[in-house]
Amino acid sequence: MIINPVVKPGHSHPPLPTRLKLDRKDIDKEDEIKREYTPYFASIGCLAANSVSEPRSNGDFTIYLCPPCHKSFVIEQVTETEVSWKLSALKGPSSSGSDLLPTRVVKTILPAIVTPLT
């Protein structure tokens, strides 16, 4: 929860639903909905994992892999100056891309990320 206030200051969580249907039971009281959310989401991962069958090949995961791709490509090398210039040129302090990360956050952390991006 630490990154949310930095990335989206003033952004509140969406409201809880006003009605919840869980195991064919309708729940419409806010405190009951809150009480049911935690056990449901705490156990759904285990339930999903238990519904997955065991591998058929004694644990050989390679049967699930696609054939290897022998094609390759070369990415042109870029400098820290180029990356810094492009990131600094991003529009608007609160606009964001598909990652929903506001540009003001990117510009704030620019000194820390420019080297790993090159």
User: Domain limits of the chain?
Assistant: 7-56, 76-118
Can you tell me the mean pLDDT for 89-108? Answer: 80
- For the chain, helix, strand, coil in percent to 5 are 40, 5, 50
Specify the pLDDT at position 71: 74
Closest CA to 107 of 89, 115, 118: 89
pLDDT at 82 (0 to 100): 93
Return the closest-CA partner of residue 78 out of 45, 114, 31.
Answer: 114
Residue 1 clears pLDDT 60, i.e. is over it: no
What is the pLDDT confidence band of residue 5, given thresholds at 50, 70 and 90? low
Token output for 45: 């991962």
pLDDT digits (tens, 9 = 90+) for 18-62: 887 877 888 888 888 888 877 877 888 888 888 877 766 677 777
For residue 81, the one-letter residue type is: T
Q: Which residue has the tokens 């806010």?
A: 30
Is the pLDDT at 2 greater than 60? The verdict is: no
Q: 74-85 pLDDT, tens per residue?
A: 678 889 999 999
Average pLDDT over residues 88-100: 77
